[in-house]
Amino acid sequence: MVERVKILIIGYGVLGGAVLDLLSQSGRPYDLHVGARNVQQASLRANVSRYTALNLGHHPTIEVMPMDLMNIEATAERLAALRPDIIFNATTLQPWWIIKQLPADAYQQIDKACAGVWTPMDLVLVRRLMKAVREVGLESLVVNASFADVTHAALAAEGLAPAIGIGNVANAVPGIRLAAAHLLGCDVKAVDVRFFAQHYVSYRMPSTGTTDGAPYYLAIYREGRRTRPEELDHDEIFANVAGQFRRVGDLTAQLVTASSATAVIRALADRVERVVHAPGPLGLVGGYPVRIAPAGISIDLPEELSLDEAVEINKGCQKFDGIEAVESDGTVRFTAESAEIVRKLLGYDCEAVALEECEDRAEELATKYAEYRRRFE
């Protein structure tokens, strides 16, 4: 009898729902569970996954259960009863796309602060989830979608870092592979990459064709052989990613993020050895190529790059995302420029967020942003 892997998806929004769809259509023997505050709405969304899977000849097992991550005790009780093998957190207090709903001029102004200043909104729920996991003593592998480039390094200070993140660096890899294959004149299946980059590069480069000077490391392989610099120019690759292989940047693109999450979850669930790209593995800042194997998770480093060097690249890159540093006690310190932008626009005065302050800071930021948004209604 095939062992059935229990996968719990917490959250059924754009991302969580898409991952549920993809796992439902995988044909793999997964016991899928969805945790949500609104069980009725989550059940309706789960039925979309059931219908779609049945149309494609699959028969997934999906169960919906009540779960409110703000209630650590109740979450711990649910987790203890279910004992999932893998937990995928698809929740946040504010999705990244919320600010894109502003008028164009207002969005462009606030977007200059970059993603880092919103970290309190990303920390709260995953921190409470990890506290519940530790309270029960579960060995579940937690895969987190909530700004893992930063939140995992912060939570590592409390021993609460999830195993691995999803999206971000992974979202840029398909475009790089397609562009490299095009320039090399070969099939994309022949091209493999190892890309080290924090969220900023993976977010900006596909739309602008440049990293804006942010550091990264990229190794490209054709049929397993490392290409030489004279064979492939990175600027030309990036220009093609933002040109011929440009993709939409709205919510439709969440399918790319969902597929990256599904790749990570399936590698863990199927207990196979596979290299994926992901942010926040092992509590590190930024994004890396990650080797997932039955023995565990490790960073897949090219011979000429050390782990310390890879981490320093990501630390340098995160400054472009408005983050000066993630300190050893988990405090996330913002760059002066980013802090000043939100101070002027929102009246939100915050130079750094300590872990024990993240909930109060998130509540304040939500209030200030709501006031700002109402100016444009």
Q: Is the dihedral of CA 251, 254, 255, 258 positive or negative?
A: negative
Q: Is 276 helix (H, G, I), strand (E, B) or coil?
A: strand
Q: What is the dihedral of CA 249, 250, 256, 261, to 10 degrees?
A: 120
Residue 253 has a pLDDT of: 86
Residue entry with tokens 């711990």: 76
Residue 230 has a pLDDT of: 83
- Phi, psi (5° rounding) for residue 326? -105, 110
Question: What are the residue ranges in the chain where pLDDT is below 50?
Answer: none
Residue 58 has a pLDDT of: 98
Beta-carbon contacts of 270 under 8 Å, excluding residues fewer than 6 positions away, are 28
3-class secondary structure per residue, 99-118: HHHCCHHHHHHHHCCCHHHH
Residue 2 has a pLDDT of: 57
Residue 325 to residue 333: CA distance in whole angstroms: 5
Length of the chain measured in residues: 377
The dihedral region occupied by 330, where left means phi > 0, alpha psi between -120 and 50, and beta the remainder, is: left
Task: Write the pLDDT tens digit of every residue in 141-198.
Answer: 999 999 999 999 999 999 999 999 999 999 999 999 999 999 999 999 999 999 999 9
Residue 249 has a pLDDT of: 79
